[in-house]
Amino acid sequence: MLELYYFENSICAERPLMVLAEKGVTDWVPHHIHLFRGEQFDPAYLKLNPKAQVPTLVHDGAIIRESTLICDYLDDLYPHPPLKPGTPVELAHMREWIKEADEGGFEGVASLSFVAVFRAKLMAMPEDERNAYWAGQTVLERTQRQQSCVFDGFDSPYALRAIAIWERIFAKIDKTIAAGGPWLMGRQFTLADLELATFIARLDGLTLLEPWIAGRPHAQAWWQAVSNRPSYAEARVGPSGEETESMGREGARAVGEFKRKRAEYVARYGAG
Ligand SMILES: N[C@@H](CCC(=O)N[C@@H](CS)C(=O)NCC(=O)O)C(=O)O
């Protein structure tokens, strides 16, 4: 039996959801973990995922954590159509994209989400409620990042780091697709495209994507192609449900400040 613990608006949980859709796998058991209701801290869930994060996959009793590892596992479990290239060199190159997305891209999207949207939500909470929210967290690094984004907004060093990493990723996507698309690994759609896509969908939902792809026609064409895949819609990638409206509205409010910060970054360090 295959069971997936996920939250519909989690950019990490959308990764395995999209893999399942690509593979046409439908016989899995969904377990919804509502992050805004604190269900990730439920003692039963903490046994599956001590970091209190989604997604978690349970396959015949075996627990698999970390979205990248879950996607890899699912691709091995359901080999058709393959989402990994066939040669060791290509495999290493595909994994380099995912490593960059995981090491900096995730933190970047999370920071921008907090600066643009969750900041307002947390600032509107009474102080003791906000402190209780952070006190329940299990990863100190994440708590400190969130606090910096909430209290300092675009002046947080994490906002600048977010801009730096995504500037580099978008420049690299544009250059790679120009050299031979339509996908990051050439003719084959792979986990590299898919695993970046769910992160970029959040930037899109926050209305922060357009400034990054406007002057990058190849990255733009790639994004069109990824977001037009049936699996993207089937997995409901991008803000959905109760989050859609607030993400778009709050994100649009932040876009002016984002553009100013990005212009400052580009003037100082260059684009990509
Ligand atoms: N490296 C982990 C990160 C998982 C992660 O941080 N998930 C977020 C949602 S995208 C989460 O569960 N956050 C819990 C919270 O906000 O309390 C993975 O890729 O699975």
Ligand 1 contact, 54 CB (< 6 A): yes
CA proximity to 59, closest of 50, 48, 43, 46: 48
Q: Give residue 10 CA to ligand 1 midpoint distance, Å.
A: 7
236-248 mean pLDDT: 84
Ligand 1 contact, 11 CB (< 6 A): yes
75-102 mean pLDDT: 98
Confidence of residue 236 (pLDDT cuts 50, 70, 90): very high
Q: What 8-state DSSP symbol labels residue 4?
A: E
Confidence of residue 78 (pLDDT cuts 50, 70, 90): very high
Ligand 1 contact, 146 CB (< 6 A): no
Ligand 1 atom 16: residue of nearest CA: 35
How high is the pLDDT of residue 68?
98
Confidence of residue 135 (pLDDT cuts 50, 70, 90): confident
43 has pLDDT over 90: yes
Distance in angstroms (rounded) separating the CA atoms of residues 20 and 201: 18
Q: Which CATH number fits domain 88-269: 3.40.50.2300, 1.10.10.10, 1.20.1050.10, 3.50.7.10?
A: 1.20.1050.10
122 has pLDDT over 80: yes
Q: Give residue 180 CA to ligand 1 midpoint distance, Å.
A: 33
Domain chopping of the chain, boundaries: 2-77, 88-269
Q: Which residue has the tokens 């290509």?
A: 90
The CATH-assigned architecture of domain 2-77 is 3-Layer(aba) Sandwich (3.40)
Supply the pTM of this predicted model.
0.95
5 has pLDDT over 90: yes
CA proximity to 69, closest of 36, 45, 95: 95
Poorest-pLDDT segment among 97-111, 204-218, 247-261 = 247-261
Distance in angstroms (rounded) separating the CA atoms of residues 11 and 201: 8
52 has pLDDT over 90: yes
How high is the pLDDT of residue 136?
80
State which H helix or E strand residue 178 sits in.
Answer: helix 157-180
